[in-house]
Structure formats: structure tokens, C-alpha cells
A and B are shown apart, each in its own frame.
Chain A
Amino acid sequence: MGILTVLWEKWVEFKRDFYKITLAAMIAPLMYILVFGMGVQTLSYGQSYLNFLIPGVVAMTTMNGSFNAIAQNLNVQRLYEKALDQVMISPTPLWQFVVGQIIGGSLRGIYAGGVILVLVLPIGTGLCFNGWSFLVMFLNGAVFATMGVVVSFYAKSHTDVPRFSNYVIMPMAYLCNTFFSADSMPHGLREIVGYLPLSQASSMIRRIANREAFSHGGILILFAYLAILMTMAFCFLYKKRNL
């Protein structure tokens, strides 16, 4: 019930800002696809670079869509508008509030990734996006939406969210199997980057797109991230002495 309340709130937000949200989801990924995929025509691992790039960009867009839908918004509600106080005071169980945010954020991520899929449809890449792709996109979105919740809760000022974005989200966007395979990185760094959630999501979406078998271990890794981040969010809500 509380989850539906949060989803209703997200829906109100989505309806009102539909054009802004859609444009924001499109611009950067479209530029990457145009410039790197179509402008700089090259091959990667024996296939067209565009076909390598699109699954990575879809995963990255899902990440950005989910994180941005939650982090900044919730941060403003907590520190500036104080609107979050009313939620904390209300009888809506706090865990349901968090789960609602995660589902809402994931759906926004899927929407952003879906927009890219629709845009690249006319190119005719022959890539495959099926139920598994959307499941991975949803999980990827869930991880980054939860990260958004945690960052917004622990942020001490409005500038902390963009700062986190610069230090964590942006490097991940470039390094995690999006524009090039993490396998080509130096030993040590390769392993670290390989276990990051976006690397796992990109890799799985790419394999599904190329009709190759993918390791279900990646899904477990995403679930592990989700569990850790959710625990952090619940700890904040239930244990923090001053919300």
C-alpha cells in the first residue's frame, strides 16, 4: 500500500515533467551513439562498434535514469523542502517508502533505456532485446535507484549529490563495459571494474543482445549490491537519531 503511494507520487512527477525527463534521457546517449557509433565507424571484437556500443549505452542510460530520478529529488525533499519529514512522520512503513522509491527509480531507468532502444530501432542493428534484457535493466536500475536513496539520505548538503555523481557515477559510465570492454584494462583494475554493477549489467545486456549465453552470476552480484544498499537505507531510516 505504501509502495503504491510512492509510485503514485513518482507518476505525478513523471506526468508533469514528461518532456523534460524524456529529453534528458535522450540527449547524451544519442550523442554517444551518433558520434562514437555512427560518426567514428570502426570495428570492435570483429563486429560493428555500434553494435558493441548500443547495449553499453542502454545500461548506462538505465543507470543514469534511475540514479538521477531519485538522488537529487529526494535530497531536495530532505534538506531543502523538508517534505520528507511528513513521510517519516506518517504511518507509511519506512521500508515500503524505500521499496517504492527503488521500484519507481527502476521504472524511470527502464523508461530511459527504452527510449534509446526505440531511437536505435530504425538503424536495424540486428541486436536482440528480450525479457532478460529488461530484467537486467530493471535490476541495474534498482541498484542505482537504491544508491540514489542512500546518497540522498547521507548527503549533508545539496552539493553532495552532484559531487557523488562526479566521483562515482560518471567514472562508472565511462569505464564499466560501456564504451570498451573492461577486459582490456590492466590487471587489478580490470577485476575491480569487472565487479562493479554497471559492468555486470552492460556485459549481460550485450551478451543477450548478441544472442550469447550470459552468466547468471551477474544477476546475483546485482542482487548483492541491492541488498547492501537497501540495508544502508533501512539503517538510516530506523536507526538514525535525527532524521
Chain B
Amino acid sequence: MIELKNLTKKYNDFVAVNNLNLRIETGGFFGLLGPNGAGKSTTIGMLSTLYLPTAGEILIDGEALTRKNTSLKRRISVVTQEYSMRQDMTIEEIMEYQGRLYFVPSRERKKKTQELLEFCDLYDYRKRTVRKLSGGMKRKLMVCRALLTEPDILLLDEPTAGMDALARRQMWNLLKRLNHDRLTILLTTHYMEEAEILCDQVGLMDRGRLEEVNTPKAMIEQLGQYAVDWMAGEEMESSFFQTREEAIKFLSKASEEAALRSTTLEDVFLEKIGKHLENR
């Protein structure tokens, strides 16, 4: 279980993460959503010990996570937002380096490397240097690298950014399967659809604060399961309703350019966070 207790991170006067309290159960799939600068990556940075908190603490199964706690660090793998790989190393070397850094025995390292690279269609490119890989391939390699160490906790900072639709779907399937096998996952993403499909809980973050935590389904139900998009002059507006009947009734009175659909997590995000952004 991951527990963040009163976690705060300040950069001089700027508060990037403000008194964050969060609990992610073992085997949970948690999505951290928020606009740019909300504090998501800083939170991942503190969980990966790259940044030290200004206040508060991080506990993994009750034990404090610090830079010196190598036994806890062994259980965590991170896919960072940036590519964070040596450009002059080949795929094979990147995997070997990671295995060595995490003390994975040689035989296991080789076997797992082959399995993961084959699964992600990277095996044929294993002699290619990172410099020569496409953005999507680099992302896949970062995920392969993170999984090589068989972590208990996987931290993913926008793992599908830059991937094409097919690769993203493949990644989702992989993450679902891993989570099914009790891997605890913390994901930050800008793709609301991704969070809605994958996560069993999501947290909405804004200006360093965790505004709300709930299941995607509960958040959508709170807003209203049915949405009607309609044109207010030049701008599109959305209205939300608890029942289909209410939505249809509204639709019948609305202009011609109106449409009924199911509410998504993106609507929740836009309503709760997006409106604040517009007003700022």
C-alpha cells in the first residue's frame, strides 16, 4: 500500500504540491489527473525519490521511502515523462543496464528481456541504438525496462504520450493485465479516456492540491450520466443529466446542432478543473 501523508513540495515560494494525502491500496490502479503544472509529475518525482519532499512523508507498506532505502526502491519501477535513456546505447544494452542496476540475476535478465522485447515488438530492433528509435518505440522500451525488474509498484508519468492509437491500445492491454496480476499502478495522464478505461480510482489535482478522489464511474454519476452538447452562439456548451428522459427533454428544446451522448471522465475534468482554468 502506498500512503502519502501531508506531502508538500515547495520550490522557493512556489508550492508545487500542497499537503497531499492519498492512499493507494496494493493492487490498485490509480490515475492522477490535472492540467499542466498541477503537481502530478512532482508527486511522481517524490515517489521516485528524485525530489525530496519539503514536508510530509511517503510510506510503502508502512515503511518510509527515502533515497537510502534500497530495499523499497527495488520494489518500485518508474516510467518518467522524458525518455531518460542513454541515446548511444542499444535496446539490448539499455535492458541489461537496467537489470544490473536492479540486481536482476543474469539468466533471468536475459530471459525476461527477450520476453518483453518480443511482446512489445522490439526484439528485432534490439541492436539498434536509442537515438535511432521512433518516439513510440522509445516509450515501449521504457515500459519494457520498467517491467524487467518485476516491480510491486509501477509509477507511470504519461506513459502513452507520443504513441499511435494501436500502440496505445496495446499498452492499455498490457497495463490491465499487469494490474490484474496485483501490480500496484500510479498513472498520470492527459488522456482522460485512458484513465477512465484503466483506473479503478482517479484523483483530480489542481494547483498542487488533490481536489477529489473517487472511482471514474462515481465521478461521472455525480455529474450526470447523460450529456447534451449544444451550440450557444459560436461556442459549444454541454449540459448533464441524471436520466436519459431528462436529457431527451432538454434535447427536444435545444437548437438543431445538439447531440446526446454518455458523459465521460473528460467532461468531469472539464467541469471541475477546466472551469477554474478558464476563470484564472
Q: Which residues of A contact B (CB under 8 A)?
A: 1-2, 4-5, 8-9, 12-13, 16, 77, 81-83, 85-94, 237-238, 240-243
Name the one of B67, B84, B103 contacting A85, with C-beta atoms under 8 angstroms. Answer: B84
Residue ID in chain A nearest B93 by CB atoms: A12
Q: What chain B residues lie within 8 Å of A238 (beta carbons)?
A: 67-68
B86 touches A77 (CB 8 A): yes
CB distance from A137 to the nearest CB of B (A): 27
A88 touches B49 (CB 8 A): yes
Cα of A2 to Cα of B70 in the assembled complex, Å: 12
Q: What chain B residues lie within 8 Å of A242 (beta carbons)?
A: 11, 45, 50-52
B82 touches A241 (CB 8 A): no
Cα of A241 to Cα of B17 in the assembled complex, Å: 14
Stretch of B72-80, B158-166, B186-194, B197-205 with 4 or more beta carbons under 8 angstroms from chain A: B72-80
A86 touches B68 (CB 8 A): no
Residue ID in chain B nearest A82 by CB atoms: B84
Known contacts A1-B103, A5-B97, A90-B102; A82/B68 CB under 8 A: no
Contact with A along B80-100 (1 / 0, CB 8 A): 101111111100010011101
Cα of A243 to Cα of B80 in the assembled complex, Å: 14
B100 touches A89 (CB 8 A): no
Cα of A235 to Cα of B101 in the assembled complex, Å: 21
Residue ID in chain A nearest B129 by CB atoms: A16
Q: What chain B residues lie within 8 Å of A9 (beta carbons)?
A: 97
Cα of A2 to Cα of B100 in the assembled complex, Å: 8
Known contacts A8-B100, A241-B51; A89/B73 CB under 8 A: yes
Q: What chain B residues lie within 8 Å of A8 (beta carbons)?
A: 96-97, 100
CB distance from B34 to the nearest CB of A (A): 20
A85 touches B50 (CB 8 A): yes
CB distance from B42 to the nearest CB of A (A): 9
Cα of A9 to Cα of B78 in the assembled complex, Å: 20
Residue ID in chain A nearest B11 by CB atoms: A242
A91 touches B102 (CB 8 A): yes
Known contacts A241-B51, A241-B52; A87/B86 CB under 8 A: no
A86 touches B51 (CB 8 A): no
22 contacts between A and B (CB under 8 A): A5-B97, A5-B101, A8-B100, A16-B88, A81-B83, A81-B84, A81-B85, A81-B86, A82-B82, A82-B84, A86-B78, A86-B84, A86-B145, A89-B49, A90-B98, A91-B70, A91-B101, A91-B102, A92-B102, A238-B67, A242-B11, A242-B52
Q: What chain B residues lie within 8 Å of A2 (beta carbons)?
A: 101
Known contacts A91-B74, A238-B67; A86/B101 CB under 8 A: yes
CB distance from A185 to the nearest CB of B (A): 42
Residue ID in chain B nearest A90 by CB atoms: B101
* 4 closest cross-chain pairs (CB), A and B: A90-B101, A5-B100, A91-B74, A82-B84
CB distance from B35 to the nearest CB of A (A): 22
Contact with A along B214-247 (1 / 0, CB 8 A): 0000000000000000000000000000000000
- Cβ of B113 within 8 Å of any chain A Cβ, yes or no, is no
CB distance from B88 to the nearest CB of A (A): 7
Residue ID in chain B nearest A241 by CB atoms: B52
- Cβ of B263 within 8 Å of any chain A Cβ, yes or no, is no
CB distance from A163 to the nearest CB of B (A): 23
Residue ID in chain A nearest B100 by CB atoms: A5
A86 touches B50 (CB 8 A): no
Q: What chain A residues lie within 8 Å of B71 (beta carbons)?
A: 91
- Cβ of B48 within 8 Å of any chain A Cβ, yes or no, is yes
Name the one of B45, B88, B98 contacting A86, with C-beta atoms under 8 angstroms. Answer: B98
Cα of A237 to Cα of B93 in the assembled complex, Å: 25
Residue ID in chain B nearest A85 by CB atoms: B84
Name the one of B78, B93, B103 contacting A91, with C-beta atoms under 8 angstroms. Answer: B103
Cα of A99 to Cα of B171 in the assembled complex, Å: 38
Taking A8-B100, A241-B54, A242-B51 as known contacts, 9 extra A-B pairs with beta carbons closer than 8 A to each other, sorted by chain A number, are A5-B100, A16-B88, A81-B85, A81-B86, A82-B80, A83-B85, A86-B80, A89-B49, A242-B50
Those of B39-68 within 8 Å (CB) of chain A = 45, 48-52, 54, 67-68
B51 touches A83 (CB 8 A): no
Residue ID in chain A nearest B67 by CB atoms: A238
Residue ID in chain B nearest A96 by CB atoms: B70
A81 touches B74 (CB 8 A): no
Residue ID in chain A nearest B68 by CB atoms: A238
Q: What chain B residues lie within 8 Å of A94 (beta carbons)?
A: 67
CB distance from B73 to the nearest CB of A (A): 4
Known contacts A86-B101, A89-B78; A243/B85 CB under 8 A: no
Q: What chain A residues lie within 8 Å of B89 (beta carbons)?
A: 12
Residue ID in chain A nearest B97 by CB atoms: A9
